[in-house]
Amino acid sequence: MAELIQLTAAHDGFAFDALHAQPAGRRRGGVIVIQEIFGLDQYVRADVERWAGLGFEVLAPSMYDRQERGFTAEHSDEGVQAAVKYAMANGPDNAMGDIQACIDHLKPSGPVFIVGYCYGGTMVWLAASRCKGLSAGSSYYGGQVAGMAGLPLSCPVELHLGRKDGHIPADEVKAKVQAAHPEVQVFIYENSGHGFNNDGRPDSDLDDAKLARQRTLKLFEANGAG
């Protein structure tokens, strides 16, 4: 069962909250779960428990604690507006500092992996370039990945995109990413739109979500997960 702990970002000394879950059974590594723009909502919490159930120690940082500690928002127009404001105010440096603190917490016990969704998908791509100590990353429907396609990567990364995503042109993103990084696998899920890892959401196809999770686990296993 996940519980809140506090970690401190080295770059500014800020103490932020993170959901922390111990692995079920033998520890296979650490996984950092990066939220959508909506905060540590029920979907993030479900994902934390899912990864813990697969044998990983999990951290999910609360990414906007500098703006409002414990912020969560509904998946609505009003929620999006509030969440985007906080994401922009927090900026990439704070986000990377918090992710690095999570890596540093998990790293002494084994390999560290990262998975993120929407806002978190972009943060995975950026962390794979700027943070130190990651073994692999899985990025789901990150809206700014295409614009960051040329960044150098320090670990293997794969992308998961929904064909029906009205916010992200899947083929265009795939072309830009693979032009810069032909080694990066970009998976497009024909039956899904944005947010398809969130079970029960309108754009979620359960078979697509299961396949993406299997591919993410395979990536982590190929890069050190025990």
d(C-alpha 74, C-alpha 189), whole Å: 25
Q: Is the pLDDT of residue 146 over 90?
A: yes
Q: Does the pTM of the predicted model rise above 0.95?
A: yes
pLDDT band at 173 (very low <50, low <70, confident <90, very high): very high
Round the average pLDDT of the chain to a whole number and report it: 97
Residue 93 has a pLDDT of 98
Residue 49 has a pLDDT of 98
Dihedral, 166, 182, 47, 162 alpha carbons, nearest 10: 20
> Based on the structure, what is the number of domains in the chain?
1
Q: What is the DSSP string of 162-206?
A: ETT-SSS-HHHHHHHHHHH-TTSEEEEETT--TTTTSTTSTT--H
CATH of the domain at 54: 3.40.50.1820
Q: Domain residues for 155?
A: 3-222
Q: Is the pLDDT of residue 70 over 90?
A: yes
Q: Is the pLDDT of residue 202 over 90?
A: no
Residue 204 has a pLDDT of 84
